[in-house]
Amino acid sequence: MSSLLGQTFFVFSVVFSSIEVAELSKEKTLIKKLLNNYQEIGVMGRPVVSQNDVLNVQYGLSLIQILDLDERNQVLKTNVWATYHWKDIYMSWNPLEYDNITKVRVPMGSIWQPDIKLYNYADERREEKREALLVVSHDGGIQWIPQAIFRSSCAIDIMYFPFDVQTCKMKFGSWTYDGYKIDLDLVYNVSTGFEMTDYIKSNEWEIISSRAKKTVFRYACCDEPFVDLTFHLKIKRQPAFYNYILILPCILLSSLTLVLFWLPPESPAKMQLGMNIFVAFFVLLLLLAESTPPAASSIPLIGAYYCLNMILITLSTFLSVIVVNLYFRGSRTEVPKCVKSLFVNGFARILCMKGQVSYNSCSTDNSRITNNINMKNREKRFKYDKVGYFETQTEDSWKPMQNGIQNTDDEPCPPIPTSISQSLLSSVEQDVKEIRNHLQRWADKTEEKEMKERITREWRIVALVLDRLFFCLYLLVIIVSICTAFHRAIVSLFNKQEE
């Protein structure tokens, strides 16, 4: 029995000795010793000898990816690796005593860590960093590189959207320690700001430049200075997507509006096309509103361009109504002389419509001249041929008459009584007067009809000239508005061509 107990004790002693040997390896022994010392002195408090000593902390950011820039909420979302360097006097050892171990890893939270926070954070999460071990060197140097997704507030200027350039900043500093306790410095080169070795290019944003700056600032709450590191990131939007979604349809619709002034006034499509273009611009304006912040300090130029085009389309619809009204005005009122001289003699020649206007004017003048000549001939005929009797006779009857009766060489005619002769002449004269009155009325109606046609043609000429004038003015406004709204894109395009 005793021998059995002895064997059992020997087995357990061997097992426990092997377990103790496995748990107390040099690395584990070193980590256990370091953490036990830290538990005795406490995690709180800076790892310095004197309270007046300044602890230097180096901080830097490696930009991995620009995840999103929310223009509506004005939030920049980035994926970064944050780098911390500082020295902890309580985490040093002699490597010769521990098999030349120069570095060990300890879990975060087990030793003191600087409370560096993002000042301009815009995140609902409680923690933006991912858990990562701290690398401890034998001389007390601590290196900590946690992964983090930062959501920082960024002032968005959308005036030149979608050709805008945004400058966002990320301000980091100790939340509780002032500059007399912790001094911050940059890990990487100041001129570069972000470390870009592992950067993944964004499909929407292109990085123009990045820089970092150290600032010492005194806040109203405290007398001590506070040190912060501000990282600036200047990015430019790549507008390829918006070129096909917002800009190209906008320019095409603006060009399509010019068709309104080329359609003939008698076409019903002249009014329908303007209404349809207005609705299309309104849909594009809704798409633009989804991409821009509603409370922006300035509206984008492309939005102003949309609104300008909607105003112009509304105005062009009213102008089309005026043109159609003038075109179908008819002969109710005559064209004023000032309007005729301004449009027919002035703008028509400037707008290369001289041929059409001169043809209509000449045809009108020729008809008026012909009508006047015919009227003069009729007046002469009525004046010198009061009876018109000879116009009703044949050539053989143009012979001398005696007492109103024609005489022939072959046979004499008996005399006709005077009363019968006078009644016959009065009857013929009455018929001629009726014919003359009828011709006069016909001539007056013809002249009135030609005058109405002339007035109608003049109103139509004024309408056509006005339509052409509106077209030229609208074309000028479109060119100026496009150059104003997209001048940054035009300048960048010329710069690329020069390069």
Predicted confidence (pLDDT) per residue in 192-207, tens digit: 789 888 999 998 899 9
Predicted confidence (pLDDT) per residue in 116-145, tens digit: 999 998 877 766 778 889 999 999 999 999
Residue 396 pLDDT > 80, yes or no? no
Q: What is the pLDDT of residue 413?
A: 52
Q: Is residue 210 domain-shared with residue 82, that is, in the same domain?
A: yes
Q: Is residue 88 domain-shared with residue 76, that is, in the same domain?
A: yes
Q: Hunting for tokens 């102003």 — which residue is that?
A: 304
Q: What is the pLDDT of residue 359?
A: 44
Q: Is residue 251 domain-shared with residue 354, that is, in the same domain?
A: yes
In a domain, 13, yes or no: no
Residue at which a domain ends, from 237, 258, 289: 237
Interval 461-475 mean pLDDT = 79
Q: Is residue 374 domain-shared with residue 441, that is, in the same domain?
A: yes
Interval 113-118 mean pLDDT = 92
Q: What is the pLDDT of residue 20?
A: 47
**Angstrom distance (rounded) from CA 427 to CA 125:** 118
- Both tokens of 55, joined, read 């602890």
| DSSP for 75-129, written as a single string | EEEEEEEEEEEEEEEEEE--GGGGTT--EEEE-TTSS----EEETTB--SSS--B
- Both tokens of 254, joined, read 């603006």
Kindly state the helix (H) or strand (E) to which residue 194 belongs, with its residue range: none
Q: What is the pLDDT of residue 295?
A: 58
Q: What is the pLDDT of residue 366?
A: 43
- Both tokens of 160, joined, read 């030149």
| DSSP for 216-283, written as a single string | EE--TT-SS-EEEEEEEEEEEE-THHHIIIIIHHHHHHHHHHGGGGTS-TT-THHHHHHHHHHHHHHH
Q: Is residue 338 domain-shared with residue 385, that is, in the same domain?
A: yes
Q: What is the pLDDT of residue 358?
A: 54
In a domain, 417, yes or no: no
Q: What is the pLDDT of residue 468?
A: 79
Which pLDDT band, with edges at 50, 70 and 90, does 5 fall under? very low
Residue 374 pLDDT > 70, yes or no? no
Q: Is residue 246 domain-shared with residue 256, that is, in the same domain?
A: yes
- Both tokens of 284, joined, read 């594009």
Q: Are strands 182-186 and 55-70 parallel, antiparallel or unpaired?
A: parallel
Q: Is residue 164 domain-shared with residue 298, that is, in the same domain?
A: no
In a domain, 401, yes or no: no
Q: Is residue 229 domain-shared with residue 323, that is, in the same domain?
A: no
Q: What is the pLDDT of residue 406?
A: 47
- Where b means 16+ CB within 10 Å and e means fewer, 38-73 reads beeeeeeebbeeeeeeebebbbbbbbbebeebebee
Interval 427-449 mean pLDDT = 79
Residue at which a domain ends, from 212, 237, 262: 237
Percent of the chain with pLDDT over 70: 74
Q: What is the pLDDT of residue 418?
A: 62
Q: What is the pLDDT of residue 301?
A: 82
In a domain, 399, yes or no: no
Q: Which of 221, 211, 138, 233 is nearest to 176 (CA)?
A: 221
Domain assignment of residue 83, given as a range: 36-237
In a domain, 402, yes or no: no
Q: What is the pLDDT of residue 412?
A: 54
In a domain, 229, yes or no: yes
Q: Are strands 134-137 and 103-106 parallel, antiparallel or unpaired?
A: antiparallel
Q: Is residue 248 domain-shared with residue 384, that is, in the same domain?
A: yes
Give the distance from CA 229 to its chain's centroid.
36
DSSP 57: E
Residue 352 pLDDT > 60, yes or no? yes
**Angstrom distance (rounded) from CA 445 to CA 376:** 16
- Where b means 16+ CB within 10 Å and e means fewer, 155-188 reads ebebbbbbbbebebbbbbbbeebbbebbbbebbb
- Both tokens of 296, joined, read 């922006």
Q: What is the pLDDT of residue 381?
A: 46
Q: What is the largest CA-CA distance in the chain?
A: 196
Which pLDDT band, with edges at 50, 70 and 90, does 87 fall under? very high
Interval 81-100 mean pLDDT = 91
Question: To the nearest whole number, what is the mean pLDDT of the chain?
Answer: 76
CB atoms within 10 A of CB 473: 14
Q: What is the pLDDT of residue 244?
A: 85
Residue 460 pLDDT > 90, yes or no? no
Which pLDDT band, with edges at 50, 70 and 90, does 67 fall under? very high
Q: Is residue 68 domain-shared with residue 154, that is, in the same domain?
A: yes
Spatial strand order in the sheet of 226-237: 116-118, 165-174, 226-237, 205-217
Residues in CB range of 72: below 8 A, 6 or more apart: 292, 293, 294
Q: Is residue 246 domain-shared with residue 353, that is, in the same domain?
A: yes
In a domain, 398, yes or no: no
Q: Are strands 401-402 and 405-406 parallel, antiparallel or unpaired?
A: antiparallel
Predicted confidence (pLDDT) per residue in 21-61, tens digit: 444 688 888 999 999 988 888 888 889 888 889 999 999 99
**Highest mean pLDDT (candidates 222-236, 263-277, 286-300):** 222-236
The CATH number of whichever domain residue 193 belongs to comes to: 2.70.170.10
Q: What is the pLDDT of residue 480?
A: 84
In a domain, 102, yes or no: yes
Which pLDDT band, with edges at 50, 70 and 90, does 355 fall under? low
Query: Poorest-confidence range of 199-208, 209-218, 374-383?
Result: 374-383
Interval 173-195 mean pLDDT = 84
Q: What is the pLDDT of residue 435?
A: 83
Q: Is residue 42 domain-shared with residue 188, that is, in the same domain?
A: yes
Answer with the residue of higher pLDDT: 415 or 240: 240
Residues in CB range of 302: below 8 A, 6 or more apart: 161, 162, 246, 247, 250, 288, 485, 486
Number of domains in the chain: 2
Q: What is the pLDDT of residue 3?
A: 52
Which pLDDT band, with edges at 50, 70 and 90, does 261 fall under? confident
Backbone phi and psi for residue 380, each to the nearest 5 degrees, phi listed first: -65, -45
Residue 387 pLDDT > 80, yes or no? no
Residue 388 pLDDT > 70, yes or no? no
Which pLDDT band, with edges at 50, 70 and 90, does 481 fall under? confident
Residue at which a domain ends, from 183, 213, 237: 237
Interval 217-245 mean pLDDT = 87
